[in-house]
């Protein structure tokens, strides 16, 4: 083959380097073509509520894939959050989904065929109340009206477990409602709820705006992560919202929950591997700027998928990239 290439060069044909580059490109196309990609394949990524880290991360990931993967295109789909996303994945309405790890492992996975492409960041559970309100600790939610999050959000799943750790039952001890972030912020400012749960990055821009407008405070969740770990396993971790977030003068203890980029087991290995390459190679550009310092993305963190199995194509890609 080398002799043929050199002969072609002498006849004025394409250079050996150009032919080899074309062959390499053809091989890459064949690799993705093997999973049925005759044209650029569109993947639907179920993300989350506008204004939250899920939605922002999803847009950054879609941009990175669309820029760097010739045969793939990602389109985001706004949703209420993890529970909606897992349902879409199960029913075929999405190819990829962002989900809190506890929701993914808590019986909401699509038919036991849920797989992870990577752990993409740490979610901070934020129990928000008015700065001058009477809610100072978790137990103070007894008898109060509280939004647990959108009914399709993983925050609602986590919030119910947090309330249970304090012996509080939604609908009995707590008047529970399910509001998306923007509506919950409006309701708190209007005095229509006493507190609301939100799970996302720190700081969340909508909460920063609410703090500037009316004043808010995060309710400490000291010791809650340890109780949840004892009851539900190590998917939960103690974590602090750093001082300075939302005007806090000291760190506020809360519960950390990993977020996963998930797919079904039926996603083609080649597609899973291509997505992993984007996650690893584009990591610095995938973290929204307002979270810098609280979120990190690296190969070592990506593979810690909290008990949800890695997709085989993703696992192979991590091995090839980092051994």
211 within domain boundaries: yes
Does residue 191 share a domain with residue 135?
A: yes
What is the share, in percent, of the chain residues with pLDDT greater than 70?
Answer: 85
Domain match, 87 and 141 both: no
Instruction: Assess whether 239 and 309 both reside in one domain.
Output: no
Tell me: pLDDT of 243 over 90.
yes
Where is the domain boundary, 206, 239, 257?
257
Does 265 lie in the same domain as 118? yes
Rounded to two decimals, the pTM is: 0.85
Residue 153 CB coordination number (10 Å): 32
Provide the token pair at 148: 């647990």
Torsion of CA 96, 100, 102, 107, to 10 degrees: -40
160-179 b/e with 16+ CB inside 10 Å = b?
Answer: bbbbebbebebeebbebbbb
Q: Are residues 145 and 241 in the same domain?
A: yes
Same-domain pairing of 165 and 244: yes
If asked whether residues 251 and 290 sit together in one domain, one would say: no
Say what the pLDDT of residue 15 is: 40
Q: Are 52 and 137 in the same domain? A: no
Contact 288, 60 (CB under 8 A): yes
pLDDT at 323: 64
- Residue 246 CA to residue 146 CA, distance in Å, equals 20
Instruction: Decide if 10 is inside a domain.
Output: no
Query: Rounded to whole angstroms, what are the CA distances from 126 to 104, 184, 250?
Result: 20, 13, 15
Q: Is 95 in the same domain as 171?
A: no
Same domain, 207 and 97: no
Q: Is 128 within the bounds of a domain?
A: yes
Residues 243 and 128 in one domain: yes
Average pLDDT, the chain: 87
Q: Residue 34: pLDDT above 90? A: no
Contact 72, 263 (CB under 8 A): no
Domain that holds residue 129: 124-257
Least confident of 5-19, 53-67, 109-123, 282-296: 5-19
Question: Is residue 55 a part of any domain in this protein?
Answer: yes
pLDDT score of 67: 95
Position 286 in a domain: yes
Least confident of 109-123, 140-154, 198-212: 109-123
The angle formed by the CA atoms of residues 181, 248 and 180, to the nearest 5 degrees, is 5
Q: What's the number of domains the chain is made of?
A: 2
Residue 277, pLDDT above cutoff 60? yes
Pair 116, 265 in one domain: yes
Q: Which of residues 257, 277, 303 is at a domain's end? A: 257
Neighbours of 149 (CB within 10 A): 29
**CATH number of domain containing 180:** 3.40.190.10
Q: Which of 236, 257, 278 is the last residue of a domain?
A: 257
Is residue 22 domain-resident? no
Between the alpha carbon of residue 154 and those of residues 48, 66, 241, 319, the distances in Å are 10, 27, 19, 30
Would 100 be classed as within a structural domain?
yes
Q: Could you report the per-residue pLDDT of 67-108, keeping only the tens digit for each?
A: 999 999 999 999 999 999 999 999 999 999 999 999 998 754
Contact 112, 95 (CB under 8 A): no
Q: What is d(CA 222, CA 252) in angstroms, rounded to the nearest whole number?
A: 8
Please state, as a whole number, how many other Cβ atoms lie within 10 Å of the Cβ of residue 16: 15
Confidence (pLDDT) at 19: 33
């Amino acid at each position: 083959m080398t002799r043929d290439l050199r002969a072609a060069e002498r006849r004025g044909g394409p250079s050996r380097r150009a032919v080899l580059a074309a062959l390499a490109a053809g091989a890459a196309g064949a690799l993705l073509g093997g999973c049925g990609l005759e044209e650029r394949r569109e993947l639907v990524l179920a993300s989350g509520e506008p204004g939250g880290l899920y939605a922002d991360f999803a847009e950054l990931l879609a941009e990175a894939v669309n820029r760097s993967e010739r045969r793939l295109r990602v389109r985001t789909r706004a949703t209420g959050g993890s529970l909606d996303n897992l349902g879409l994945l199960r029913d075929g309405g999405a190819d990829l989904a962002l989900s809190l790890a506890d929701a993914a492992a808590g019986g909401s996975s699509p038919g036991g065929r849920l797989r992870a492409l990577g752990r993409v960041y740490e979610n901070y559970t934020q129990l928000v109340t008015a700065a001058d309100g009477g809610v100072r600790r978790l137990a103070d939610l007894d008898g109060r009206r509280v939004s647990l999050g959108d009914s399709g959000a993983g925050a609602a799943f986590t919030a119910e477990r947090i309330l249970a750790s304090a012996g509080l039952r939604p609908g009995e001890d707590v008047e529970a409602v399910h509001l998306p972030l923007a509506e919950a912020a409006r309701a708190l400012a209007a005095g229509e709820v006493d507190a609301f749960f939100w799970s996302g990055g720190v700081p969340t821009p909508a909460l920063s705006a609410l703090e500037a407008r009316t004043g808010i405070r995060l309710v400490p969740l000291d010791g809650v992560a340890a109780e949840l770990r004892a009851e539900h396993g190590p998917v939960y971790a103690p974590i602090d919202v750093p001082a300075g977030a939302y005007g806090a003068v000291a760190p506020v203890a809360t519960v950390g929950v990993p977020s996963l980029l998930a797919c079904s087991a039926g996603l083609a290995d080649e597609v899973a591997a291509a997505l992993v390459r984007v996650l690893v190679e584009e990591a610095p550009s995938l973290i929204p700027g307002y979270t810098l310092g609280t979120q990190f993305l690296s190969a070592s963190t990506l593979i810690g998928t909290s008990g949800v199995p890695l997709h085989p194509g993703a696992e192979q890609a991590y091995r090839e990239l980092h051994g």
